[in-house]
Amino acid sequence: MDGRAAAAAGPGQAAVESGGGAGPGRRPTRLVSGAAGPVASAAAAAGGTGASAAGSRQPSMEALDRSSRLRTRPTGSHVEWCKQLIAATISSQISGSMPSDSVSREYRVYRRPTIREIQDGHNGYPSDAEVDQALRDGNKLAQMEEAPLFPGESIKAIAKDVMYICPFIGAISGTLTVTDFKMYFKNVERDPHFVLDVPLGVINRVEKIGVQSHGDNSCGIEIVCKDMRNLRFAYKQEEHRLEIFQNLITRAFPLSHGLPLFASSYKEKFPVNGWKVYDPMAEYKRQGLPNESWKISKINSMYELCDTYPAILVVPTSVKDDDLSRVAAFRAKGRVPVLSWIHPESQATITRCSQPLVGPNDKRCKEDEKYLQTIMDANAQSHKLFIFDARQNSVADTNKAKGGGYESESAYPNVELIFLEIPNIHVMRESLRKLKEIVYPTIDESRWLSNVESTHWLEYIRMLLAGAVRIADKIESGKTSVVVHCSDGWDRTTQLTCLAMLMLDSHYRTIKGFEVLLEKEWMSFGHRFALRVGHGDDDHADADRSPIFLQFIDCVWQMTKQFPAAFEFNELFLITILDHLYSCLFGTFLYNSEHQRIKEEIPTRTVSLWSYINSQLDEFSNPFYVNYENHVLYPVASLSHLELWVNYYVRWNPRMRSQMPIHQNLKELLAIRTELQKRVEELQREAATRSISSSSDRGSSPVATPVHTSV
């Protein structure tokens, strides 16, 4: 669990300053990371906790029937035994398990009896008692090797005597099971059992490799994963073993083979319905909308204005639908400027959109120009509008030559255009590839810092945080409205608006507030999760893939390190979100837009990730959280204040794991905090009772003597 020690930021205690321009109802305080002073910060660790931890697993009791592949719900003491097994495997380095074939009573193997056995009348065949014992031993082994299953999950193939070539502890022989959700490998001869549990959704590609020095296991495959690890297996070239790897490819890339994603089969029941976390009308009402300057529009209720935008939009009150349609025609993909967040006092706004279609001939659109002027006029405290273009200036010029472009200050008076110089999705994909090369499977300790620097990953994290700080500062200190866009407005734009809103609004720093932020800015506003992640698609070389959402979560983690007490959630919360970004267990991150999710009936056919998380909030809560309501966070966007997120990127390396059980320790601290809060409430009630009693006593006395108590 991720611990938060104080209101201080990262390496130094937070400097608390009065925010400029606060109205009587809101007194914002600036929390600036990196100011002088000590800070007690609890380390966060959740390495190795992956998608397999979600929900309750249901191990089966029966041996595999190859034709039906069915499993039944276990009962009695076997359930308790399985619970212990699952708990043990989750706490170990990885997870997995396999069933063995059942032993038939009718199939007895002859062996030559010894002289003593001949003298004793033994005929060379096992006795009934020996067969019974063999059955019991076989069933026990089968139960130990069985793969625990989620509700709705079924086994598709099993292969024994498969060799997992572990880069850390060497070759391990075991049983490999492929279900319609996961790949599950288990060796029961080791103590503790070695278990590898990999959701198929994390698989990026499967490649055949040559294998040497592994006996009869002459065939091999390498499984390249999206979560910073590669897995290698060796096996005998036999038909039934080849079958399991064909099943692996089919089930890892279901959409490429005409099959549905597993999320539609997952039947876990949770006490909380995560699909109800985000209600756009409720969220806009929380922000004080609609008001005299901004209205809630349903022009996109049928997704006809823009099919990658949500059905409900917030636009300037004076803008007519016809004008909005003309603006949509002038913006890439029809993504018009719409409100994301409004300051409760100054009414300065964050508005998001895509690039204008200016083109090489500097085409203009009077409706678009008037529209941006209306956005500026909606904020009476400023007569200027800042447009933050996330792109590099040179790339924006290239886009302009191809029909895109940016707002010229000559066509848009009172507008200042700022390029944030953030590279595109292809650069980010290459950066992550380089990072994976240096963290898995081996780490060059002598060149660690220079290798990390060579990936430029932290530099890109710095650029995103620096851009978000500039946006937040214009809103908070400058009381000026801002417009944010990149090319299409669904990658870097979302990263920047989300980070700025996280800095400005303490509500988004709570668990449920953060869930709302993701649902609103990422899911409903059309980040292309299916294309960027490649859910169920075997085209690993697709140029549309990029770790945009991973980068954003990394930025959030950097903020939690600099402000350890400002976030209600812990590190495990962020890692769990990333694990299920890939797992395809939940419907939360599937498809590219709200329109597609509605069309595919995702809210009714799948389970929300928030159902799982909100059903066990203690697992994801920060025991050091302090609700800094109305405090604005300004993280230090400097490489000297950033660090590589080892507990995520290097978590598969057992040598890099924390030596202390931090997650359990922080859970205990959370329990202690809860008890202390209860005690404080009891003492407050006692004090209130005594105060009332004392007041009544003084009322009946002719003279009351005041008592002054100093604390």
Q: Length of the chain, please? A: 711
Angle in degrees, CA 422, 425, 429, rounded to 5:
115
Q: Which residues contact 426 (CB under 8 A, 6 or more apart)?
A: 543, 546
Six token digits for residue 584:
């395809």
Q: Provide the 10 A C-beta neighbour count for residue 456.
A: 18
245 in Cβ contact with 587 (< 8 Å): no
CA distances from 580 to 442, 610, 648 (A): 26, 11, 13
Q: What is the DSSP letter of 121?
A: T
Q: Residue 197 pairs with which residues in a beta bridge?
A: 184
Helix (H), strand (E) at residue 225: strand 219-225
Six token digits for residue 325:
């349609």
Query: Is 82 annotated in the active site?
Result: no
Q: 213 — alpha (psi -120 to 50), left (phi > 0) or beta?
A: left
The one catalytic residue among 82, 219, 306, 486: 486
Helix (H), strand (E) at residue 209: strand 203-210
Six token digits for residue 439:
């963290």
179 in Cβ contact with 147 (< 8 Å): yes
- Percent helix / strand / coil, the chain, rounded to 5: 40, 15, 45
Q: 418 — alpha (psi -120 to 50), left (phi > 0) or beta?
A: beta
Q: 583 — alpha (psi -120 to 50), left (phi > 0) or beta?
A: alpha
Q: How many whole angstroms separate alpha carbon 301 and alpha carbon 313?
A: 9
51 in Cβ contact with 199 (< 8 Å): yes
User: Long-range contacts of range 222-227, CB-CB < 8 Å, 24 or more positions apart?
Assistant: 223/183, 223/198, 223/248, 224/540, 225/198, 226/202, 226/533, 226/534, 226/582, 227/50, 227/202, 227/578, 227/579, 227/582
Q: How many whole angstroms separate alpha carbon 293 and alpha carbon 4?
A: 39
556 in Cβ contact with 44 (< 8 Å): no
Residue in 511, 611, 579, 621 with CA at minimum distance from that of residue 56: 611
Place of tokens 């590839």: 433
Q: Residue 621 pairs with which residues in a beta bridge?
A: 569
242 in Cβ contact with 220 (< 8 Å): no
Residue in 616, 590, 593, 614 with CA at minimum distance from that of residue 263: 590
Residue in 279, 276, 319 with CA at minimum distance from that of residue 297: 319
DSSP code per residue over 406-438:
---TTTSTTEEEEE-----HHHHHHHHHHHHHH
Residue 379's Cα: distance from chain center in Å? Answer: 35
Six token digits for residue 237:
């070239």
Helix (H), strand (E) at residue 689: helix 662-700
Amino acid at 532: R
Q: What is the DSSP letter of 332?
A: G
Catalytic residues: 486
